[in-house]
């Protein structure tokens, strides 16, 4: 059952899972805002999404390089179209996971959230990770966006409404 979740406290609890989700050759850089942030959800849901995104970013770089995880409050003043949905005006917990890999091939952009779509079947990937991340984000009233960085690599952005403590 979803309830207000302290993002900073939860992140400190799941750090070991995050560090083991990336290759030993991948550096995981974490930037967490000091601003208190609550979102609706469970620690398991947040952990699952972050582990999947960090693992995916590490694998996209062939296991070496760096993965950047940023979590900060975000204020959206006007509606903004995302690649899959719309970010309405409001206050959000913004989670960003980016890498330095090759980015997402244009022919794959529309399919990356499809269940069982993967470009890494030869590496034993199932194609369920990003689909599950999107499903979980939507179940928590969140939005997800993805784009290729101009410097190389991909960036996944999750937006969850800031919750008030009950």
The string of DSSP codes covering 41-103 is E-HHHHHHHHHHHHHHHHHHTTT-EEEEEEEEEEEE-S-EEETTEEE-SEEEEEEEEEESS--
Per-residue pLDDT averaged across 11-22, rounded?
95
Dump pLDDT digits (tens) for 100-152. Answer: 988 877 777 776 777 666 666 455 565 567 888 999 999 999 999 998 887 78
- CA–CA separation, 56 vs 144, rounded Å? 15
Q: What is the pLDDT of residue 135?
A: 92
- CA–CA separation, 43 vs 107, rounded Å? 34
Q: Confirm or reject CATH 3.30.565.10 for domain 3-161, answering yes or no.
A: yes
Instruction: Tell me the sheet residues that pair with 85.
Output: 82
Per-residue pLDDT averaged across 17-45, rounded?
95
Dump pLDDT digits (tens) for 66-76. Answer: 999 999 999 99
Q: Which residues of 16-36 are buried (b: 16+ CB within 10 A; e: fewer)?
A: eebeebbbeebebeeeeeeee
Asked if residue 69 lies in contact with residue 46, where contact means CB atoms within 8 angstroms, the answer is no
Q: Considering only residues 2 and 132, tell me which one the structure prediction assigns the higher pLDDT.
A: 132
In the predicted model, is pLDDT for residue 2 greater than 70? yes
Q: What is the pLDDT of residue 165?
A: 47
Q: What is the pLDDT of residue 1?
A: 66
Q: What is the pLDDT of residue 166?
A: 38
Total count of residues recorded for the chain: 166
Q: Considering only residues 63 and 29, tell me which one the structure prediction assigns the higher pLDDT.
A: 29
Q: What is the pLDDT of residue 21?
A: 93
Percentage of the chain surpassing pLDDT 70?
88
The domain locations on the chain are: 3-161
């Amino acid at each position: 059952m979803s309830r207000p979740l302290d993002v900073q406290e939860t992140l400190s609890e799941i750090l070991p899972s995050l560090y083991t989700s990336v290759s030993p050759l991948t550096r995981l850089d974490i930037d967490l805002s000091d601003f208190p942030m609550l979102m609706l959800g469970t620690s398991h849901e947040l952990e699952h999404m972050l582990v999947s995104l960090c693992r995916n970013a590490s694998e996209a770089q062939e296991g070496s390089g760096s993965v950047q995880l940023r979590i900060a409050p975000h204020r959206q003043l006007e509606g903004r179209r995302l690649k899959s949905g719309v970010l309405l005006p409001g206050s959000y917990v913004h989670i960003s996971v980016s890498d330095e890999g090759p980015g997402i091939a244009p022919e794959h952009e529309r399919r990356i959230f499809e269940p069982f779509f993967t470009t890494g079947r030869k590496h034993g990937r199932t194609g369920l990770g990003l689909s599950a991340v999107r499903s979980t984000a939507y179940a928590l009233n969140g939005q997800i966006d993805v784009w290729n960085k101009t410097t190389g690599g991909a960036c996944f952005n999750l937006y969850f409404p800031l919750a008030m403590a009950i």
